[in-house]
Structure formats: C-alpha cells, structure tokens
Structure 1
C-alpha cells in the first residue's frame, strides 16, 4: 500500500527484456534506505518487488501483465521515474490509499500554466473514467492528485510547484503517456452496490 506521495525521482539504468517478461534497473538513493530484497517500491505508480540491490540502484521484475497494462515497457535508459516505498505502519497518509495496481494508461492532452504551477488535461480510457468524480482522488504515475472537470474523454489535475519540482510531472508534454489508478474506494462501492442490486432482484423474484 502506498500514499501517492513521491519520495524521489530515480533514473532508469537498464530495461532488459527476457522473453515476455523484463528486468528494470533504476538508479536511486533515498528509497534504498531500509529497503531489502522482497520489499515493494512503486515505480511510476506500479507496485514492484525489489529483487536485487546495489549501492545506488535496485532491480525489479516486470511481468507480462505489468508490461501490457502500464507504461514501464516503454522506458528508455536515462528516463526519470517516480519512486515511493510502501507505507510503513504508523506513517503519515499524506495522499490517499494507492495500491500500485494500474488500471490503464492515459495520454497528456494539454499543459497549461497556472501561476507557478500547471494544469494538465489527461485523456483516459472508459474503464478508468467510470470511477472518477469531480474533486475525487486519482493516481497519475503514482502521484495522489485531485481530478477535476471529468467528462467523457478525460479529466484535469493541477500541480503545485513543489510537486512539479519533485516528480516526473515536470517533464509532461502533450502526448506523454501516464499510468492511471482509480480510487480503490470507488471500486469497492461499485461492487457492493452491484451485490445489493442482485440481492434485491432475487428478493423480488421470491415474492
């Protein structure tokens, strides 16, 4: 479990394809503190397991599912990535509950200056948009953000200067592809309501 608060921007050192899978190696420092093989680190919002550690690097496996559902398979050497260690018990929940289970990818459509910050419009697939509400949570490349003005094609998010300076959002341009994870609470609510509708229908059929 993560909070969507980026701890560090790492740098891709290597992406090695191994059949249908891959191994991703990233240069980093802060997120390596206290990290051991088997621990979880979110890379651009994708929860991954550390399989190897070095003095200033770590490696993770990328499964076929991860490569198909996220942007990680497109990463090139030198690319910046958002990094966050899993939430420690007793830690501050500065964002929202982020699982690191990407629902799909979106595309940056527009980047607009807003004072010292930026407002970014993101095109998103229907399977993600169904869970987005005005001023609700959305994780974009692992960043906990507030979605505004959702419509049938996408939504907008605002970035303050601090977030821009400490995340990959500073590199967003029209056409940039991003990882998206909808709020898990919306998914649970949908499932519970669907179950209630099924129970109500069964009750009507018995009466």
Structure 2
C-alpha cells in the first residue's frame, strides 16, 4: 500500500526484455534504499514492483525489478528507455503521516496528455482515457471533480472530468512539477492511471445490494422494491 506521495526520482540504467517480461535496473536511488530488503515493494511510476536485487552504493544506489507481461500491457513501463526518470515511493509505513490517498500500485490503464496549459507558476494538464472495450470498461465512473487519482503513482486532485470526451484534468503547482516526472512530460505522452480503489469497492457493494448477491433469501433491493410496488398496485386494484 502506498500514499501517492513521490519520495524520489530514479533513473533507468538497464533494460532487458524477453518473451516472459522485462527486467529494469533503476539507479540514482540511494535515497529510498536505506531500509530496503530483498522482496520489498516499491512503486515505480505507480506500479507496485518487487525489489529482487539492490546495492545502496554503486551507481548512486540501484535496485532491480521484474516486470511481468501483465504489467507491461497495463502500464507505460514497457516504453521507458535508458536515461528516463521514474517516480519512486516505498510502501507506506505504519508510523508515517498519511498525506495522499490509498494507492495500491495496481495500474488500471494508461491515459494520454492532450492539453498542457500554463497557469501562473502552475500547469494545468488534461488527459484522455482510451476507448472502452468489453474486457476493459470505462474508468470514468470512478473519476469525480475534486476526487483522487494516481497518475504515474502521484496522488493528485481532479480539477475537471468530462465524460463525453473521456477526459479529466489536474493542476500541478511549481513544487510538484519539480518533484515528479509528470511536470516534464509533453503532449502525447502516456501516463499510468490508478483510480481510487474505495470507489471500486463502493460500486461492487451497491451493485451486490441491488441485485441481491449474498442477500438473505436472494432478494436484492431492486427486487424488494418491485415486489412492494406490485403489492401496492394489486391492493389498489391497478394490477392483478
């Protein structure tokens, strides 16, 4: 579990791709390796990955991660090249202040930067989600203005959501621009998107209640309402 508060920017120093996935070595990472152990989870551009090897001193500190094909398909990590910077965050500690939102590090999809507009010292960015498919439905129902979204692992507040053109926007203040990779990305660049998991659980719970999944007697709210309406209509002689 993560907070979406990026701790450090690491640099891709090695990539090895084969049919089963890819290996990344991320250097300049000493700042987050002081308490690192083999098997620890580190969010890399918003993807929860496992540190399989690390060295705190060589190359300014580096660690190695493995990317399964599922991760490559869901995220932009398969498009990274040597020299690219990546957002890094260690798993949340129980002693830490919780300043972002609950981020799992499970990227849902990618989005594309379609607008980049200066606003004083800040930058307004607009993103477009891909067309929904039967296997990957639209994520727009989980996005609301002033709600949370994780973009490349960074917890950000949504400033606008437009369902008709599948877009949403955020604003980056100057401090944030300097601390995460998003401030340097240009039009057409892809970003990793993870929507708020709380909204997913809420949707599933409400759907289950409406449809009667797990309900006593198998009656959901929808069925119960229909029965009550039918009984009232029968009593009033408006239905048989």
TM-score (norm 1): 0.96
**Secondary structure in structure 1 of the residue aligned to 2:160:** coil
Q: Distance in 1 between matches of 2:169 and 2:3?
A: 20
Residue 204 of structure 1: how far off its partner (Å) = 6.2
The residue number in structure 2 matching 1:165 is 178
Please show how residues 70-89 of structure 1 align to structure 2 within 5 Å.
70-89=75-94
Q: Which moved more, 1:197-206 or 1:32-41?
A: 197-206
Q: Which residue in the other structure is 1:25 paired with?
A: 25
Structure exhibiting the larger radius of gyration computed from Cα positions: 2
Q: Structure 2 residue aligned with 1:194, among 207, 211, 214?
A: 207
Question: 1:23–1:59: 8 Å Cα contact kept in structure 2?
Answer: yes
Partner Cα distance (1:205, 1:134) in 2: 34
- Gapped regions of structure 2 (runs ≥ 5): 133-137, 213-219, 229-240
1:101 equivalent to 2:106? Answer yes
RMSD value, Cα:
1.4
Which is bigger in relative contact order (C-alpha 8 A, separation at least 6)?
Answer: 1
Q: Secondary structure of 2:208's match?
A: helix
SS in 2 for 1:150: strand
What is the TM-score normalised by the length of structure 2?
A: 0.83
Question: Tell me, which stretches of 5 or more residues in structure 1 are unaligned?
Answer: none
1:170: Cα distance to partner?
2.2
**1:61 CA drift (Å):** 0.6
Consecutive aligned runs of 4 or more in structure 1 exceeding 3 Å deviation: 201-207
Aligned partners of 1:128 and 1:180 also within 8 Å = no
